[in-house]
Amino acid sequence: MSLNTIKIKNEKNLKWPKIVMAILSTIGIIDTGSITLKNWGLFNSLSCPGLNKGCDAVLNSPWGTLIKNDQLNIPLSFAGLLTYSTILFLVLILSSKIISPKQKIFKNFWWILYLISCGSSVFSILLISIMIIKIKSFCFFCLLSAILSLSIFILTIIGARFDNRETMFYRGLIVAFTVLIGGLIWSNQVDPARANEITLSNEKVSPQITTVSSLEKINFAKYLYDNNIVMYSAYWCPHCNDQKQLFGKKAVKELIIVECARDGKDNQYKLCQEKGIEGFPSWEINNQIYSGTMSLNELAEMTNYDGEINFE
């Protein structure tokens, strides 16, 4: 009778980690899926508990995007969505009766789950470090994802019950080291500080724009272009760079921007002199010149823009 009780307990011990992992991975799918849909413009807004601007600063930072060009827009959250979906799929396979626990493939699925959760945990810790050290902002959704990854990793160790702990340790160490090195290389490549160092080698070129443009910002920029609203800028002007960063990389391409620095690339110095431009950035709106960095909402009001102004 006591032996049967022990067996029942063991079976329960094997079940509860999988149940919890299924719940946590589902939360992860909702978390990363919401961010991805917001980035693709399918969500108008995404409420971030506590510090909304902090979430925008993190998610719209260079580290918030994997691939961004005219054809593709793949946010980092999409990779998280795929990871949590894979984890949920593996957990459901392990929880079903499709594969017997006695089969070798059953243990192999546990190994895959362990290595994926190990890699995602290490990468999540790296992202939190970047958020604190580089971006210097707080994002609730990013912190939640890191907690979920670490929790799933711990539950995998509990639920898998690997016979050889040394093998588990060394395999986990190899994955962790590989993900960490790859993550550091990626982080360095997208770091705007590095981009600024490159552009500073050519004093005639403005720093690269690193922020991501929302659909609302792109539409607003197109409106400014269609209404012949001009931004006068100088490559060396930090406030001009701040103004462009408010629009984001893709939206800036839609603007009419005139380079006023005499030694700037493709400059229109004489035009700026004729317009009486003295400060940067300056906006020409209905033949009137307005100087200084402006929020997008201020510009929308000054230009009578009647489109969506949720620029966060």
pLDDT tens, 147-178?
999 999 999 999 998 988 899 999 999 999 99
Q: What is the DSSP letter of 214?
A: P
253-308, pLDDT tens digit by residue? 999 999 998 888 889 999 999 999 888 899 999 999 998 888 899 999 999 999 88
How many degrees, rounded to 5, is the angle at CA 218 between CA 214 and CA 224?
145
Low-confidence stretches of the chain (pLDDT < 70) are 1-14, 43-54, 68-71, 192-203, 312
In one-letter notation, the amino acid at residue 43 is F
Domains and CATH numbers, the chain: 2-190 (1.20.1440.130), 215-302 (3.40.30.10)
- Rounded to the nearest 5 degrees, what angle is found at the Cα of 62, between the Cα atoms of 56 and 68? 105
Cβ contacts of 174 within 8 Å, gap of 6 or more: none
Helices 2-39 and 52-59: crossing angle in degrees, nearest 10, is 80
Q: Identify the CA nearest to 307 among candidates 249, 223, 212, 246.
A: 223
What pLDDT is recorded for position 194? 62
What residues does 74 pair with on adjacent strands?
67
- CA terminus-to-terminus distance, the chain: 63
Cα separation values, 201 from 192, 195, 205, 237, 239, Å: 14, 10, 9, 16, 20
CB 105 within 8 A of CB 137: no
Q: Is the CB of residue 199 less than 8 Å from the CB of residue 54?
A: no
> Cα–Cα distance between 267 and 284 in angstroms, integer?
17
pLDDT score for 72: 73
What three-state secondary structure class fits 78?
helix
This prediction's pTM? 0.63
pLDDT score of 190: 79
In whole angstroms, what is the distance from residue 215 CA to residue 193 CA?
26
